[in-house]
Amino acid sequence: MLRSTPPFAVAALLLAGVTGCSSEESRLNEAIAKLDPNQEYLPAEVEALLSAPHETELLSLNPEWLDDPPDDSFHRFEVLGQTPLTAEESAAFFEALRAGVATRPDLPPPDCFNPRHGVRITSGDQSLDIAICFECEQIYSYRGDEQIGSRETSVLPATRYREAVSEHGLTAAPSAQ
């Protein structure tokens, strides 16, 4: 029986041809191509919002926890910059994140959460936020101020996120020591 190739796998392969893949990008694209479309990699509320028409915004974060955060902070982290993503960029980001979850190491994550990347998804009057720490390989998702889910990830998608911060001219967070 022939299986159709999932659209995200086709997009990953096309992106690989356009970008002239590094080995990290090749590994990421291979992981994306192996994703099971029937598997839930991200929290259900995130997947549901992504399946509706939505807007996505990428945020560069200072990973230092703010005890007294200003109103424009992102879940107690300073926003260094933010930019809207195109539908294609958003799809590529979330496929990369799903691949990171699918390839996560089978080890307990380090005891930290120093996110340098955030993503805000908005559809109508609904909004969800995702804070991503590739240092400890964890993703936290939020509705308003309430944490509604978490997942462990691998560092596989980190390069795609760092490159997007740079390509969009956002201030990058300081690197992990």
Q: What is the chain's percent helix, strand, coil content, to nearest 5?
A: 35, 30, 40
Question: What is 41-105+113-167's CATH number?
Answer: 3.30.1490
pLDDT of residue 14: 41
Q: Report helix angle 158-167 to 23-33, nearest 10.
A: 120
Strand 55-65 relative to strand 146-152, pairing: unpaired
How far, in Å, CA of 95 to CA of 157, rounded?
9
**DSSP three-state, residue 112:** coil
pLDDT of the chain along its 177 residues, tens only?
A: 333 334 444 444 444 444 445 788 899 999 999 999 999 999 999 999 999 999 999 999 999 999 999 999 999 999 999 999 999 999 999 999 999 999 998 888 778 899 999 999 999 999 999 999 999 999 999 999 999 999 999 999 999 999 999 999 999 988 764
pLDDT of residue 176: 65
Residue boundaries of the structural domains of the chain: 41-105+113-167
Among 52, 73, 44, 38, residue whose Cα is nearest residue 121 = 52
The Cα-based distances of 48 to 42, 43, 54, 87, 134 in angstroms read 10, 9, 11, 16, 24
pLDDT of residue 112: 86
Is there a contact between 155 and 137 (Cβ–Cβ < 8 Å)? yes
How far, in Å, CA of 55 to CA of 116, rounded?
20
Nearest 5°: phi and psi at 71? -60, -30
Q: Report helix angle 87-102 to 7-19, nearest 10.
A: 100
Report the run of H or E that residue 160 belongs to, with start and end: helix 158-167
Is there a contact between 8 and 16 (Cβ–Cβ < 8 Å)? no
Nearest 5°: phi and psi at 43? -55, 145
In terms of residues, how long is the chain?
A: 177
pLDDT of residue 174: 81
- What letter would DSSP give residue 135? T
pLDDT of residue 23: 86
